[in-house]
Structure 1
């Protein structure tokens, strides 16, 4: 029995000695970058870049062009299509390695000008470690900061060609930049997308298509007190549509649908409303879900509840879904193996409800790995948005390690 126990202990000791360890030099360099990452996050957050903010996009474009130039990149400003505000900042490096890689992120946020005054950048401690707060800090200024501070960890032998692309309209479906991202992705060994992750840190095998649902209701105006019965109340019909379509949302991990905006051409208290538009957010993982939703919605709207009301619907696909291929799943397993050298598990979500530019990159037929930005919380909510600074060294280490393994 003693000999068996001794043999088992020896085996365990041998296994522990053989377990992969992080590259000490790379980890030291990544850790040394952490204070600079915090400073960069502050600089990024303090430039307000709500989608469509021309002043903010110009300032951020200038900041990024200077930062990427300082890191040795050759800068190109690419105009998005469709009148989208702000240049796509593209930076390139030539190396001596074997693989061509594209790193993507976005500078626009969901916060319009004035959000910074209400929620300025700040640092705070928590049970999980130090936090940094600010509008858009998680989605996706943390991703930009990760890219900027991964670059100094690389050498020319780590890639044949490295491209960074940061667009300005991701939060509105990348309608002006999606095709450009697809073109930039062609011929790449892989595309690394720096959208945020959560806590515990995780990757995702899929993101959703983002679609817009628009329903217009035409009624008839009339005096609300003198002759309401002579009118056709478009707002009442809108309320019926909202109530009768709630179940078109199929819950977490499935098709998601929610009404998010109500618009009126003339909102006057004493007039029966005659023109109302409902706008909804639809998330699907494939074309079958998209087609099924459209058929179900149109069926629900065939007969208005308010006699005389005219109802028309449009379901518009904005951004394609991303579904990991075998090659993308191999990248996920590579990332998990890198985390295992820290003794940490990197979780995997099968599909997130958010849509990302990974969908456009994947249209190029190349491997894509998503969620390489900083772990954070509060994106797209009215709660304070923050990132976990404790994770910065390993996030930089992960990105640099993947680039080295793919590019050499």
Structure 2
């Protein structure tokens, strides 16, 4: 028995010595920096910056220019591709390290002006600690806040070059900024993307490609009471289209497809509608899945239910999917090891149905790590979007540690 006790004592002592230890100086600095994040979140949330809101995006862009300049960055603006509102804010730092790193986040939200009045910024106590609420706070203003407050934890020896890109059209598929992100990612040692994660935090095995499905239906107008049979009811045909395509959604973890918008040029109660446009959201893991969906959709719609109706379908590819490469997997393992020093876990979850700019960055052929923002929930819901402030010190520590390990 004495021998067993002695052996156990040696094992415990050896295990304790072998257990990973955090960088205490960095952890202390991250913990000291964390309280200021709440104030930054308030400042960011209280500028309404919905996609397409030129005034709000300009105001927030000026705020970010000032913050990055205060941190010693060389700040510039990059014009997005035509059709996108708001300049891309780019900040650069030169250092004495070895790695070139790109940090990305977005300032636009899904909310239109007026959402803040209905759901003002607030901090409330939750079961797992304080929660900060506000439109767009998790997606993705918290990601910007993490970047802003990671910068003071770094020194010039932590990177050869550090570039931050904040775009303005992520919620619309980054069609104006995605190719620019791809170009900026080329030649980088790694790209770190600051989209939100869930709580408790996880890493992700990939994000979905986002695509738009448009079906236009042309019919013929007629008096709805006197001679409806003389018309061709585009709305009835639209109902048929929805009915025969709803099972094209394959469920969680697979291809997702849902009709989300119905448009009609002229809607009058007593006129048989002669045109309807259906818009749907398609999420795919590969570009090949888009082609497969396109073929299946065409097969379902080849025979209209209403005689004479003309149905035209189009599938537009917006944002490419992000697939975790071996190099990206190595970044995930690095992040998991860093978090383990804090006694926290970062389990790897399957591909998410959401689409992010990680897909554009990955096209450059460089390793990409996604979900480095704050953990939260309620994305895209005006009065219920929030982040966990309890996680702020560990998220700052994680971001700074990754930059140091990749940049030195």
Which TM-score bucket, shorter chain as reference?
over 0.9
**Structure 2 residue aligned with 1:286:** 286
**Structure 2 residue aligned with 1:152:** 152
Runs of 4+ in 1 over 3 A off after TM superposition: none
Determine helix, strand or coil for the equivalent of 1:302.
coil
CA apart distance, 1:244: 1.1
CA RMSD of aligned residues (A): 0.8
Question: So what's the TM-score if we normalise by structure 2?
Answer: 0.99
Please list, as runs of the form range in 1=range in 2, the aligned pairs for 1:389-408 lying within 5 A after superposition. Answer: 389-408=389-408
Structure 2 contact 111–382 (Cα < 8 Å) conserved: no
Structure 1 contact 245–297 (Cα < 8 Å) conserved: yes
**Structure 1 residue aligned with 2:242:** 242
Question: So what's the TM-score if we normalise by structure 1?
Answer: 0.99
Distance change in 2, residues 1:382/1:301 (3 Å): farther
Give CA-to-partner distance per residue, 1:280-335, whole Å, 9 cap, x none: 00000112211111100010000001111000000000000000111100000000
Matched, 1:363 2:363: yes
Please list, as runs of the form range in 1=range in 2, the aligned pairs for 1:227-376 lying within 5 A after superposition. Answer: 227-376=227-376
Give CA-to-partner distance per residue, 1:324-367, whole Å, 9 cap, x none: 11110000000000010111111111211000000000010000
Determine helix, strand or coil for the equivalent of 2:316.
strand
Determine helix, strand or coil for the equivalent of 2:366.
coil
**Structure 1 residue aligned with 2:386:** 386
**Structure 2 residue aligned with 1:169:** 169
**Structure 2: any 5+ residue segments left out of the alignment?**
none
Q: Distance in 1 between matches of 2:317 and 2:83?
A: 19
**Structure 2 residue aligned with 1:131:** 131
**Structure 2 residue aligned with 1:190:** 190
Structure 2 contact 287–320 (Cα < 8 Å) conserved: no
Q: Distance in 2 between matches of 1:376 and 1:345?
A: 16
Q: Distance in 2 between matches of 1:135 and 1:282?
A: 25
Structure 1 contact 200–347 (Cα < 8 Å) conserved: no
Please list, as runs of the form range in 1=range in 2, the aligned pairs for 1:29-108 lying within 5 A after superposition. Answer: 29-108=29-108
Q: Distance in 2 between matches of 1:205 and 1:74?
A: 33
Determine helix, strand or coil for the equivalent of 2:26.
helix
CA apart distance, 1:243: 1.3
Q: Distance in 2 between matches of 1:62 and 1:89?
A: 9
Q: Distance in 2 between matches of 1:80 and 1:226?
A: 52
Q: Which moved more, 1:376-385 or 1:127-136?
A: 376-385
Give CA-to-partner distance per residue, 1:254-287, whole Å, 9 cap, x none: 0000000000000111111111000000000112
Q: Distance in 2 between matches of 1:383 and 1:301?
A: 39
Q: Which moved more, 1:29-38 or 1:41-50?
A: 29-38
Determine helix, strand or coil for the equivalent of 1:335.
helix
Q: Distance in 1 between matches of 2:81 and 2:155?
A: 34
Structure 1 contact 95–159 (Cα < 8 Å) conserved: yes
